[in-house]
Amino acid sequence: MTDPLKSRVVRHSPSAGEGSPDVWGIYEPDTGSIQYICADPKTRQAALIDVVWNFDHRNGKFSTESMDQVLDLVRDNDLKVQWVLDTHPHADHVMASAHLKERTGAPNAIGALVPEIAKIWADIYNLPDAFEPSRDFDHLFEEGETFKIGELDARVMLSPGHTLGSISYVCGDAAFVHDTLMQPDIGTSRSDFPGGKTHELWDSIQDILALPENTRLYVGHDYGGPERDEPMWEATVAEHKAKNRHVKDGTAREDFIQRRQERDATLPLPHRIIEALQVNLRGGRLPPAENDGNHYLKYPVNRFD
């Protein structure tokens, strides 16, 4: 029997009616990442959110099977890509943003505070002039900014904590909340990366849980759970408020902060963080080729415990 946690699982969450998008979630098993298509069922216009450019960090090899799968779903469902969106510069996978922009012609976007994240990592890599998000993304979304997916209204929520510049996308009754929440049986995401703050993660989650209770929340990662061996990524605000093991109703802010920080102190760095961020802060582009025609990634030694 095929292990769902090692398979490229796809699920469709249909529109609930006027103003509600169709959503496809596509599970990427190597990193436990969830990629999304958010589409207007009327116009067939769509946004691609947090799509992965596959990277085998053991062999230094990139491949395109995840973005190919997403674009196959776009084609098979007669969709047209209007936006290529990311919620933050990911630490555990390489973003497909630049490639998707080239392949679809759609503009790519991320949050307006990503230049501040770039400054932190430019120092870590000792690459002072390497990262310029305003060059590598077509748009940097501000807190509260609105835009359209087809005829659907979408807006941006600043959701710091995991990173200082993470954003959530809210479209009708769907919200793409990335590395804030995880599924209710798991809890929440880590907040110990450079620029991340646990109290800000708590505040961001409270803003998300203040959305209407029927809002479908789509998380950034899943690795299975204590009583399940299949990936899941959708739950409503009401379900999180009732069942989320870290932030359900009645949870004290101080208890969450202590629990999250104690857990984060036990976690290793993600396998791909060093490689991923120097690509993601270029919008999903490799560093310029050197004089032999090859691309090289830089590895800071002894910068992390």
Q: Which two tokens stand for residue 218?
A: 């789509």
- Return the sign of the alpha-carbon dihedral for residues 239, 241, 246, 250: negative
Cβ(77)–Cβ(15) below 8 Å: no
Domain spans of the chain? 8-222+230-280
Question: What H or E segment, with its residue span, contains residue 68?
Answer: helix 65-76
Q: At what angle do helices 65-76 and 97-104 cross, to 10 degrees?
A: 40
Specify the CATH class of 8-222+230-280 in words.
Answer: alpha beta
- Dist. CA 146–CA 40, nearest whole Å: 16
- Dist. CA 163–CA 117, nearest whole Å: 8
Q: In terms of pTM, does the model score above 0.95?
A: yes
Q: How confident is the model at residue 159 (pLDDT cuts 50, 70, 90)?
A: very high
Provide the pLDDT for residue 196: 95
Summarize pLDDT for 186-210 with one digit per residue, the tens: 999 999 999 999 999 999 999 999 9
Summarize pLDDT for 218-243 with one digit per residue, the tens: 999 999 988 898 999 999 999 999 99
**Cα 147 off chain centre by:** 19
Summarize pLDDT for 66-125 with one digit per residue, the tens: 999 999 999 999 999 999 999 999 999 999 999 999 999 999 999 999 999 999 999 999
Average pLDDT (158-170) is 97
Average pLDDT (31-36) is 97
Residue type, 83: W
